[in-house]
A and B are shown apart, each in its own frame.
Chain A
């Protein structure tokens, strides 16, 4: 080790707490970057491998019914590589231990051999076999987990009006259902919605579909155009009640995974970048101070024949050591957190195996980015140091020129004590330094705002979605849309206090090249249960003509209220109509479109029909109500609002909560780091001056007041700026996680602001306490003698 390096190590020992503070801030940024990027990689590569191995299809279509021979027509479409036809039916389930009926999506398995596409992965047990004494079903893992179902358990399902008992043969996963949510819902509901597989013959026979299919999956030949295949499939299936084919990007499960990756992407850039910039700034502050202190040493080194390059590199090495420490901590923390967080994804996503994969490319990028940040931080200070001619540097720095501070010049002098005046003059003498410190404090405040705005956003969504928008207890769905008078049947169920009908129609929205498939909900004009709400939480009365849609949907379709949108109805008599957009609704989970029930029915041309009803049930009669629902074969589904809310709380809210806690921890570390560092530097710069004051007879308290006064002034100035900055960060980052499936509103609460202020104030107070302790340690005589 060269003696210059020995000097480096010994100097660093003196700087250890400051170097550690910088390294920790850097580590926080890196950890976040590594965690999010590695999670992205884990999700992406796991998804890709799963899709590949289990042959996830690329084009999907549902239809009413087509004879199996149509399969050959589909296979003959140019660009089609493989076709898997089957039956997919929604049924009502009676699950042991579950009071309300659940909905099961039954999928057929080919009679012979494995499916060509969308092959299930068997977790435990086996796939169901036909011709067994008791019919068998395989169940999706998400549903089995919630209900504690094991192979061998039994459950009942109503198939085409007949209640049948099944035995579970095994628990399986499928690339089609990585994310398992009821159709049209952005939120999982593993309690009342599950996916099942059973042999084709049994399923087809039960629904009188033997020899036919109602769902098809297609994989594409290399180089085939998805658009052309989709169009051809639509042409082939049109006579058979085809409901419009779509590609992977419109596949609900696939899109949810993509959205999650997009969220991670949003988080992996902006926030870490803020942290790394802060670290660069701190490196600069520490190194500028260090170089100022070593002015004479630099001059001596140069006089004795060290080149500018050698001297410059020596000081770069300081930051290099900090970078190395930051990178080591950052990687360790990033890997640790990544491993914890990857488990969280089991809440939403079902892969055969989802392990944590460290993204080594981002590791390299992280090292480069943080080295650059540190080098940029230190470059200016080093350049100044080596540019100084040795003869010049040998002399102590010229005393700073002071003048009365602005407030004093404006006549405010008499309001302030001498020590406070000194603090003000100090701030004003070095406006750039003071400005940067103030900015750093503001950043510390700002980054504290972001994670808590996540938390508050989630809380708001929970309230908004299930208190303001949805006020029903239960949503009941009919097996098939029925006549409007079915509403009175709902009203007569035991315990029902109030019921409002709804119609639910799958449609395809088109605007230029943009295409989205979802459902239009027909609701009463001024419904009191499921309500349509605008951005200012006021109910939108549904107009007699026109459609109301999620603001996000309008954004994607690039349309505004007053524009017309093309809507293709995918049920009953298929047709395309143009409907004016009447207003935009505020919602946070998924996207939706609403019409007045009568207006929707007029559009559909099939009379007054309803798909189900939102109902309010009297509390005391709940068991009676559920019992009745279970025994009404016409009722296919029963969604309990509180169960959905609870599901959201346990999955989305919990995962965001985990991220929020992680970020809040990081932000707190950074806030403390910045403030502590500022206090240290300020103390070092002023040691001599403060010692002089002590010698002149000022008490330690009075001298401390100068130092603390400066910190207080800067902190007070930084807080409002920090709150504004933080609100901006929160807005920017939330915009980054604003996807079609999940959105968080920007909610900034006084509690959030108060927390940020509290942390920064506490950090300032502790740093001030520390500084005044250090002040006591200053040896008056040597402080005056030595140049530092």
Chain B
């Protein structure tokens, strides 16, 4: 049995046979600041993520999960290490290339939803579909998250769960390869949280999107293909679920 601390599992997730990973990461490190004030957020992370997987990143606050997610999403560049997206060296992308990468390949869901308050649900989605290559129509994306009938409401007129589902619709409308969710249920109650997770699960299953979810709620690990646990900027544990639980079966 390989040491999970030293390296990621040799075999990819159970559902996927040997095929090229979406993300290929080796020795990824991210430091902020210089000299004595330097803070190490990531201290050598190795992992491979595959299409169609649902990944959960667990860890205490400050463990480096958000930093890792930002690296994967092209929001930030690594200090050192290998960061490849479909064989392309993401670490070497310049600002313009990263923008294109985010625009075409990545869907983000944030804990604070980050909707534009002056635009309706449909407009918030349309804002993004306008700049993508082959997006869904906003209505379709909103239907996927169960909001077909709330399309013309402004964020202030929607509940937290609804707002987060609009954010998911916004993220998936571009048909991204990767859906990156940073504490998507962090601000929600259990029942609402589950509807949001169901939406993510559905996208992952129906569109085959690689979904990476950050949480500190260990219960959510049950719905993942693989669970990575981070501590002090390193992956300290990796496990795979033989069977993924459905989001609606989760309880916390």
Interface presence of A305 (CB below 8 A): yes
Please, which residues of chain B bring their CB within 8 A of the CB of A6?
Answer: 118-119, 123
- 1/0 per residue A21-59: CB within 8 Å of B? 000000000000000000000000000000000000000
Partner of B130, one of A3, A10, A300: A3
Query: For the complex, what is the distance from the CA of A4 to the CA of B116, rounded to whole Å?
Result: 10
B114 touches A3 (CB 8 A): no
Interface presence of A308 (CB below 8 A): yes
Interface presence of A417 (CB below 8 A): no
A390 touches B118 (CB 8 A): no
A304 touches B116 (CB 8 A): no
A306 touches B99 (CB 8 A): yes
**Nearest-CB residue, chain B, relative to A298:** B114
- Give the size category of B's interface with A: 20 to 34
Beyond contacts A7-B119, A305-B104: 11 other A-B pairs, Cβ-Cβ < 8 A, are A3-B127, A7-B116, A296-B112, A299-B114, A300-B115, A303-B73, A303-B75, A305-B99, A305-B102, A389-B75, A394-B110
B130 touches A389 (CB 8 A): no
Partner of A297, one of B103, B116, B123: B116
Can you list 7 A-B contacts (CB < 8 A)? A3-B126, A303-B106, A308-B99, A389-B75, A391-B66, A391-B75, A391-B76
B170 touches A304 (CB 8 A): yes
**Nearest-CB residue, chain B, relative to A10:** B118
- 1/0 per residue A258-302: CB within 8 Å of B? 000000000000000000000000000000000000001101101
Binding site for A on B (CB under 8 A): 66, 70, 73, 75-76, 95-96, 99-100, 102-104, 106, 108, 110, 112, 114-116, 118-119, 123, 126-128, 130-132, 170-171, 174
Please, which residues of chain A bring their CB within 8 A of the CB of B96?
Answer: 307
Please, which residues of chain B bring their CB within 8 A of the CB of A627?
Answer: none
A2 touches B130 (CB 8 A): yes
Interface presence of A463 (CB below 8 A): no
Q: What is the CB-to-nearest-CB distance from B170 to chain A, in angstroms, rounded to a whole number?
A: 7
Q: What is the CB-to-nearest-CB distance from A12 to chain B, in angstroms, rounded to a whole number?
A: 9
Query: For the complex, what is the distance from the CA of A11 to the CA of B106, rounded to whole Å?
Result: 27
**Nearest-CB residue, chain B, relative to A386:** B95
A303 touches B102 (CB 8 A): yes
Known: A3-B126, A297-B116. A305 touches B132 (CB 8 A): yes
The residues in A between 381 and 421 inclusive whose CB is less than 8 angstroms from any CB of B are 389-391, 394
**Nearest-CB residue, chain A, relative to B167:** A300
Query: For the complex, what is the distance from the CA of A449 to the CA of B112, rounded to whole Å?
Result: 51
Q: What is the CB-to-nearest-CB distance from A182 to chain B, in angstroms, rounded to a whole number?
A: 69
Partner of A3, one of B110, B123, B132: B123
B114 touches A394 (CB 8 A): yes
Q: What is the CB-to-nearest-CB distance from B72 to chain A, in angstroms, rounded to a whole number?
A: 11
Partner of A305, one of B76, B100, B115, B126: B100
- Give the size category of A's interface with B: 20 to 34
**Nearest-CB residue, chain B, relative to A787:** B112
Query: For the complex, what is the distance from the CA of A394 to the CA of B69, rounded to whole Å?
Result: 13
Q: What is the CB-to-nearest-CB distance from B95 to chain A, in angstroms, rounded to a whole number?
A: 7
Query: For the complex, what is the distance from the CA of A394 to the CA of B102, rounded to whole Å?
Result: 16
Query: For the complex, what is the distance from the CA of A780 to the CA of B118, rounded to whole Å?
Result: 21
Query: For the complex, what is the distance from the CA of A302 to the CA of B123, rounded to whole Å?
Result: 17
The residues in A between 111 and 132 inclusive whose CB is less than 8 angstroms from any CB of B are none
**Nearest-CB residue, chain A, relative to B117:** A297
B127 touches A296 (CB 8 A): no
B108 touches A303 (CB 8 A): yes
Known: A3-B123, A6-B119, A7-B119. A300 touches B100 (CB 8 A): no
The residues in A between 451 and 467 inclusive whose CB is less than 8 angstroms from any CB of B are none
Q: Which of A7, A11, A308, A310 has the most CB of B within 10 A?
A: A7
Known: A7-B119, A10-B118, A391-B75. A305 touches B110 (CB 8 A): no
- 1/0 per residue A642-670: CB within 8 Å of B? 00000000000000000000000000000
Q: Return the 4 tightest CB-CB contacts between A and B, nearest first.
A: A305-B103, A10-B118, A300-B114, A3-B127
Please, which residues of chain A bring their CB within 8 A of the CB of B127?
Answer: 3-4, 7
Query: For the complex, what is the distance from the CA of A303 to the CA of B115, rounded to whole Å?
Result: 12
A300 touches B76 (CB 8 A): no
Please, which residues of chain A bring their CB within 8 A of the CB of B171?
Answer: 304
Q: What is the CB-to-nearest-CB distance from B43 to chain A, in angstroms, rounded to a whole number?
A: 18
Query: For the complex, what is the distance from the CA of A389 to the CA of B102, rounded to whole Å?
Result: 13
Query: For the complex, what is the distance from the CA of A390 to the CA of B102, rounded to whole Å?
Result: 11
Please, which residues of chain A bring their CB within 8 A of the CB of B128?
Answer: 304-305
**Nearest-CB residue, chain A, relative to B129:** A3
Partner of B110, one of A2, A300, A389: A300
Query: For the complex, what is the distance from the CA of A4 to the CA of B96, rounded to whole Å?
Result: 20
Query: For the complex, what is the distance from the CA of A7 to the CA of B155, rounded to whole Å?
Result: 13
Partner of B131, one of A14, A299, A305, A308: A305
Query: For the complex, what is the distance from the CA of A305 to the CA of B99, rounded to whole Å?
Result: 5
**Nearest-CB residue, chain A, relative to B124:** A3
A390 touches B75 (CB 8 A): yes
Please, which residues of chain B bring their CB within 8 A of the CB of A391?
Answer: 66, 70, 75-76
**Nearest-CB residue, chain B, relative to A389:** B76
**Nearest-CB residue, chain A, relative to B71:** A391
**Nearest-CB residue, chain A, relative to B114:** A300
Q: What is the CB-to-nearest-CB distance from A191 to chain B, in angstroms, rounded to a whole number?
A: 66
**Nearest-CB residue, chain A, relative to B73:** A303
Query: For the complex, what is the distance from the CA of A11 to the CA of B119, rounded to whole Å?
Result: 10
Please, which residues of chain B bring their CB within 8 A of the CB of A389?
Answer: 75-76
Please, which residues of chain A bring their CB within 8 A of the CB of B73?
Answer: 303
Partner of B108, one of A4, A296, A304, A308: A304
Q: What is the CB-to-nearest-CB distance from B127 to chain A, in angstroms, rounded to a whole number?
A: 4
A306 touches B131 (CB 8 A): yes
Q: What is the CB-to-nearest-CB distance from A728 to chain B, in angstroms, rounded to a whole number?
A: 43
B118 touches A7 (CB 8 A): yes
Q: What is the CB-to-nearest-CB distance from B185 to chain A, in angstroms, rounded to a whole number?
A: 17
Please, which residues of chain A bring their CB within 8 A of the CB of B116?
Answer: 7, 297, 300
Query: For the complex, what is the distance from the CA of A2 to the CA of B95, rounded to whole Å?
Result: 24
**Nearest-CB residue, chain A, relative to B105:** A305
Please, which residues of chain B bring their CB within 8 A of the CB of A390?
Answer: 75
Query: For the complex, what is the distance from the CA of A161 to the CA of B112, rounded to whole Å?
Result: 101
Q: Which of A302, A304, A310 has the most CB of B within 10 A?
A: A304
Q: What is the CB-to-nearest-CB distance from A308 to chain B, in angstroms, rounded to a whole number?
A: 7
Query: For the complex, what is the distance from the CA of A113 to the CA of B174, rounded to whole Å?
Result: 87
Query: For the complex, what is the distance from the CA of A725 to the CA of B76, rounded to whole Å?
Result: 48
Q: What is the CB-to-nearest-CB distance from B135 to chain A, in angstroms, rounded to a whole number?
A: 11
Please, which residues of chain A bring their CB within 8 A of the CB of B103?
Answer: 304-306
Please, which residues of chain B bring their CB within 8 A of the CB of A4?
Answer: 127, 130
Please, which residues of chain A bring their CB within 8 A of the CB of B174?
Answer: 305
Query: For the complex, what is the distance from the CA of A389 to the CA of B73, rounded to whole Å?
Result: 12
Please, which residues of chain A bring their CB within 8 A of the CB of B126?
Answer: 3
Q: Which of B95, B115, B131 has the most CB of A within 10 A?
A: B131
Please, which residues of chain B bring their CB within 8 A of the CB of A299?
Answer: 114
A10 touches B102 (CB 8 A): no
Please, which residues of chain A bring their CB within 8 A of the CB of B66?
Answer: 391
**Nearest-CB residue, chain A, relative to B182:** A394
Please, which residues of chain A bring their CB within 8 A of the CB of B102?
Answer: 302-305
Query: For the complex, what is the distance from the CA of A307 to the CA of B115, rounded to whole Å?
Result: 18
**Nearest-CB residue, chain B, relative to A4:** B127
Known: A299-B114, A305-B104, A391-B70. A3 touches B119 (CB 8 A): yes
Query: For the complex, what is the distance from the CA of A303 to the CA of B69, rounded to whole Å?
Result: 12
Q: What is the CB-to-nearest-CB distance from B246 to chain A, in angstroms, rounded to a whole number?
A: 29
Please, which residues of chain B bring their CB within 8 A of the CB of A2?
Answer: 130
Query: For the complex, what is the distance from the CA of A4 to the CA of B131, rounded to whole Å?
Result: 10
**Nearest-CB residue, chain A, relative to B171:** A304
Query: For the complex, what is the distance from the CA of A3 to the CA of B112, rounded to whole Å?
Result: 21
Please, which residues of chain A bring their CB within 8 A of the CB of B106?
Answer: 303, 305
Query: For the complex, what is the distance from the CA of A10 to the CA of B155, rounded to whole Å?
Result: 14
Query: For the complex, what is the distance from the CA of A378 to the CA of B126, rounded to whole Å?
Result: 27
